[in-house]
Structure 1
Amino acid sequence: MKYLVRERIFGIGDDFWVETENGEKAFLVDGKALRLRETFELKDPSGLVVAVIRKKVLSVRDAMKVEDANGETTATVRKKMFTPFHDKYRVELADGAEWEVHGDFLDKEYDIEADGGRVARISRKWFRIRDTYAVDVAAGSDAALVLAVAVCVDRLSAAEHGEGDDD
């Protein structure tokens, strides 16, 4: 299923609805202001928190973690070391599995892949709506987790490329 995400919406204190390609509200990205570290909540349409996204503190490399509603870490996202020709991110899942994220992060054209194949494709090309990109989640994948990872990659990439938090 494809979800529409607004670019540059992930500033602290910013809230935004992630919609389905049919325009239905799917998840609310709720940027939490007045926190010591970057924090976002991903909520379902009823307001139930399905994931909390936090910037990891005291990390050698910038990293973000995704927690479930109970505070358990479900994924950690960080830039891979030693990728000389292009950026790559690694997603370490709580169950020990890993996803690799690679492509063009500035232009929002990248894939999230696992050993079994593509988990999601992120692209601006599918929709002509200004400042919007699509996240095409593969059948059987956890849409909330994939969208939370996309938020992490967006924030980590923006920080690396000098885009401020004053979006």
Structure 2
Amino acid sequence: MELYIKQKIFSFKDKFNIFDYNEEPKYKAEGELISLGKKLHVYDSHGTEVIYIRQRLMTFLPKYEISISGQETVEIVKNFTFFKHEYTIPAWNIKIHGDFFAHEYTVERNGREIAQLSKQWLTWGDTYKINIFDPADELMALASILVVDCCMESASNNAN
């Protein structure tokens, strides 16, 4: 299954439209305009919140909390690495590996690849393509990828 994420660039808060392979809207993600730390809400096509992401503040490395469909909250952590990008979600046994340029990622659970992410080059706003191998992993993979985008955005803002 493929999903496409397109970030709206002319907005005061983070906004993403998420489409399926047929370019049908599947999800919508919106950040909060005023908040301490980044917060992102993901809604399905019926307007029901399916993912909530919250940045944990006052940490050495970036950390976020993810809640899917109001269930348990898990933590995703950016690992300290040189040259590559790596994240872990210990509660789900997930590791996310990125390349040097932060444009290609793989998401693995228990050593088995569950999704691939490609960030498009030279586009207005961030544009991603996600290949998810099992539909049961869709929300988990989508939440993971949105956190990766949050971390990349924070890193680029801190570099400026």
TM range (shorter): 0.7 to 0.9
Equivalent positions of 1:7-156 (< 5 A) are 7=7, 13-70=13-70, 72-73=72-73, 75-81=74-80, 83-93=81-91, 97-104=92-99, 106-124=101-119, 131-156=126-151
- Aligned partner of 2:6 in structure 1 is 6
Instruction: Report the Cα offset of residue 139 of structure 1.
Output: 1.5
Count of residue correspondences:
156
Distance in 2 (CA, whole Å) between partners of 1:41 and 1:114 is 24
Counterpart selection for 1:163 from 152, 157, 160: 157
**TM-score, with structure 1 as normaliser:** 0.79
Q: RMSD of aligned C-alpha atoms?
A: 2.6
Deviations 1:99-149 (A, max 9, x none): 111122744211011225111000146x99765220111114421221111
Q: Secondary structure at the match of 1:154?
A: helix
Q: Which runs of 5+ in 2 are unaligned?
A: none
Q: Percent identity?
A: 24
Q: Secondary structure at the match of 2:157?
A: coil
Task: Work out whether residues 90 and 100 of structure 1, in 8 Å CA contact, stay in contact via their aligned partners in 2.
Answer: yes
Instruction: Report the Cα offset of residue 91 of structure 1.
Output: 1.7
Distance in 1 (CA, whole Å) between partners of 2:58 and 2:71 is 19
Q: Which runs of 5+ in 1 are unaligned?
A: none
Runs of 4+ in 1 over 3 A off after TM superposition: 127-131
- Letter aligned with residue 118 of structure 1: E
- Letter aligned with residue 24 of structure 2: E
Q: Secondary structure at the match of 1:142?
A: helix
Structure with a larger share of its residues in helix: 2
